[in-house]
Amino acid sequence: MAMKIASIAEFRNHLSEYLAAVANGEEVEVRKRNMPVARVVPIRRAPRNRTVLGCGEGSVVVKSDLTAPMIPDADWEMPRDRRR
């Protein structure tokens, strides 16, 4: 595919047509007095996430109570004030 070339005025007057071409994968070079000033290129889209909900079901084994505290109760005691 050859890159399209347009002057600023032509690009402005036919913007929707040039953007449609860019959406189809083409590039457009915008020129001012025949000198390139900009290039409009399509945005690369990230691949779609194809993860299926629930695909990891059964792949994790829980070996303890998830709601039980990890620190023993005795370690929760606050140190007493030694100044008294």
Per residue in 16-34, pLDDT (tens digit) is 999 999 999 999 999 999 9
- In whole angstroms, give the CA distance from residue 36 to residue 11: 13
The CATH code of the domain that includes 19 is 3.40.1620
DSSP state of 83: T
| Residue 37, CA distances (Å) to 17, 29, 32, 51, 76 in order | 19, 8, 6, 42, 67
Has residue 31 been placed in a domain?
A: yes
Which is more confidently placed, 83 or 71? 71
- In whole angstroms, give the CA distance from residue 32 to residue 38: 9
Residue with tokens 């449609």: 20
Q: In this predicted model, what pLDDT tens digit does every residue of 55-77 receive, in sequence order?
A: 888 888 888 888 887 777 777 77
Has residue 48 been placed in a domain?
A: no
Q: Whole domain around residue 31: which residue ranges?
A: 4-40
Which is more confidently placed, 81 or 37? 37
Has residue 22 been placed in a domain?
A: yes
Has residue 21 been placed in a domain?
A: yes
- Token digits of residue 60: 């994790």
- In whole angstroms, give the CA distance from residue 55 to residue 65: 24
Has residue 29 been placed in a domain?
A: yes
Statement: residue 41 has pLDDT above 90: yes
